[in-house]
Structure 1
């Protein structure tokens, strides 16, 4: 028999069920919309920060920067002061620019960026090379001289892993390197300190320029490989042949992977940015040597080529058109500036070797 009483009592409950379902539906819809709004705002802010952090630092006046630093700290502008101060500023830019040091970031937007980390690595390469030159050549009178203690600490700091996040972080190691350079610079500018030296000699400068030429030559080859080309394999050792017999030389196709083209481009821009400042500092501290060798114009020519490579890139992406195609090829344009700078470095080294 049907329970009419219970059936009558359950009718309000059945009527309330659609209302409860409606509230659950609208509650879930509001939650989904709120979550989507938060995600959208997060992505918008992250993309905006990423765009802001991707802005490359502008060029700064080297000599004026060194003079301001010397006046602020009450130090003398001795030979070598401008070079060390510029090296510190270039290295400090890696840490103090918008977004700070990005190469070791583990969270967005730094995690999603690859152009700025490549730029940072390019700058870091030149910082490492000049720090090594300071330790090995500029601060020593001859090969048997003792190396400077602070420079001996600075070099390994800058050669630390550029992608270490913590324990220790790359930033902390590079800051220690800058601090070591500051201690050397303080002793160098103090007349009472006799154990800090800077030898502005042609042979010292020539040794560092050899490293510069090697870096620029490698960058030029990597940039030119953006379009792919057939190259003679010079890495293979040719066997000794009998008179009149032509040795066989293998060919290989060299081409930068498509996903690496923009990385190579921005690494080259980073190296060119750092090197243009360092050469301006060298022009100040090695002024007498360059004048005697009639090489001042050569240094300025290198700087001009490097600074020309820092023009803004108006395209939203690095284009990779064929050599004579319709689209531009930014890598080949950069390779042109780098190659001309490298040729000027070779000429400068020849001038320094003369007389």
Structure 2
């Protein structure tokens, strides 16, 4: 009798866990950034100031990460969260972009020059958001990230204050270029890992362009790069998460840096970046990430994702060049 009862409970638990797993694996929807920014400003009884869109979007991305169905699951120690490595990697992709933007705000965008004082709330928010993303308790990852979001909210409130010495957001071309440079390196790395899903021979170009350059450890002239089979879906969903976050951040940048982008005639370039990133969010029509050869019978989802990521990255490079022009 006890054996049947225990077996029944286990079966029920597994069925519930599988059902929850399917529900928790659904990626959050993309939202209308300008409309949500207006709503957030109205909730505070203010008109959006320069920088409000970026800060509001960064805060909302953090809340989506923590409050989506199932909450934050990267640090779960029991099923179904323990089984859901795809959405956990999606979370990490979003998290990296949140961290990069919080750092850009602290070191560049909220400072008038390199020797000026950094904003106190941003200085507290950045290390909180860089806390271990896999800590279950003492303290939990969620509690540390929520504290970081609270510091961002404090900065946001001061940003709307009429006191010019309280908080600032400098929408300058050099600040935007610096952040785009970080995005460029992130997407470049993801593109390489996605492209390596089928394996490829690559010539070592680490020191190309500088005849006097040296490196700490000698590398072979040619090497074969291949993403391990068990990591292919991990990289794919990390790229989807990063693209999801960047779609919203780019739309916020379009609002806050509007004058700069229009002056440089770069608004179309930014929108093209968003268009390429939006292509990465299409529904996957397969229950698993396929890894066919480049010209084989079956699809290779990683190569398709790499194509969109590479095109977005190329557009970012073009945008940075436009911003460098006088």
- Range class of TM-score, shorter chain: over 0.9
The answer to whether structure 1 residue 319 and structure 2 residue 290 are counterparts is yes
The 2-side partners of 1:233 and 1:142 are apart by 38
Contact 1:75/1:190 (<8 A) preserved? no
Cα distance, 1:63–1:41 mapped onto 2, change above 3 Å = same
Partner of 1:4: none
**Residues 210-289 of structure 1 mapped to structure 2, 5 A cutoff:** 210-235=181-206, 250-289=221-260
Cα distance, 1:189–1:34 mapped onto 2, change above 3 Å = same
The 2-side partners of 1:296 and 1:281 are apart by 13
The 2-side partners of 1:328 and 1:249 are apart by 32
The 1-side partners of 2:100 and 2:276 are apart by 20
Does the residue aligned with 2:28 lie in a helix, a strand or coil?
coil
Count of residue correspondences? 320
TM-score, L = length of structure 2: 0.95
The answer to whether structure 1 residue 102 and structure 2 residue 88 are counterparts is no
Contact 1:238/1:249 (<8 A) preserved? no
Following TM superposition, the consecutive aligned residue runs of length 4 or more in structure 1 with deviations greater than 6 angstroms are: 236-241
TM-score, L = length of structure 1: 0.88
Partner of 1:116: 87
Partner of 2:310: 339
Partner of 1:330: 301
Deviation at 1:240, TM superposition (A): 7.0
Deviation at 1:277, TM superposition (A): 0.3
Instruction: Give the unaligned 5+ runs of structure 2.
Output: 213-218
The answer to whether structure 1 residue 205 and structure 2 residue 210 are counterparts is no
Partner of 2:216: none
Partner of 2:143: 172
1:36-93, Cα deviation, whole Å (9 max, x unpaired): 2111111000001011100000101111111111111212210100110000001111
Partner of 1:160: 131
Cα distance, 1:249–1:42 mapped onto 2, change above 3 Å = closer
Cα distance, 1:240–1:335 mapped onto 2, change above 3 Å = closer
The 1-side partners of 2:125 and 2:268 are apart by 32
1:274-299, Cα deviation, whole Å (9 max, x unpaired): 00100000000000000000000000
The alignment yields a C-alpha RMSD, in angstroms, of 1.7
The 1-side partners of 2:305 and 2:252 are apart by 23
Structure of higher CA gyration radius: 1
The 1-side partners of 2:112 and 2:206 are apart by 37
The 2-side partners of 1:175 and 1:240 are apart by 48
Instruction: Give the unaligned 5+ runs of structure 1.
Output: 1-29, 242-247
The 1-side partners of 2:164 and 2:43 are apart by 20
The 2-side partners of 1:35 and 1:83 are apart by 52
